Amino acid sequence: MPKKFLTVKEVARLLNVTPLTVRNWDAKGKLTAYRHPMNNYRLYKVEALEELMKELEISKVAVKIPKVAQSPKSGVRKLKIDIL
């Protein structure tokens, strides 16, 4: 049976961020935490994490500032665009 909730540490590991970042996202409302009834630890729904991951992937797509490279032999300038 798959897990329905993840801990701060598990979320941080999956997203390659620090646990503090996960807590900050919780404070800012990007990710909603539920509290464990016995120990009051933060727990996050897997579905909410999947939504956040989609959001992060969309924001990750960016275009770097174009670089203009000049070929030393021909003197032709080329526009180079790197997509992250």
pLDDT per residue over 49-84, tens digit each? 888 888 877 565 544 444 445 555 555 555 454 544
Between 66 and 25, the more confident residue is 25
d(CA 52, CA 31): 7
Classify 52 as helix, strand or coil.
Answer: helix
What percent of the chain shows pLDDT beyond 90?
A: 40
Between 11 and 65, the more confident residue is 11
Query: For the chain, which residues make up each domain, given as ranges?
Result: 1-84
Convert 54-71 to b/e letters by CB count within 10 Å (16 or more is b): eeeeeeeeeeeeeeeeee
Q: How large is the angle between the packed helices 46-60 and 8-15, nearest 10 degrees?
A: 30
Instruction: Please say whether the structural domain 1-84 has been given the CATH code 3.30.420.40.
Output: no
Per-residue pLDDT tens over the stretch 31-44: 999 999 999 999 99
Contact 33, 42 (CB under 8 A): yes
- pTM more than 0.85: no
Classify 28 as helix, strand or coil.
Answer: helix
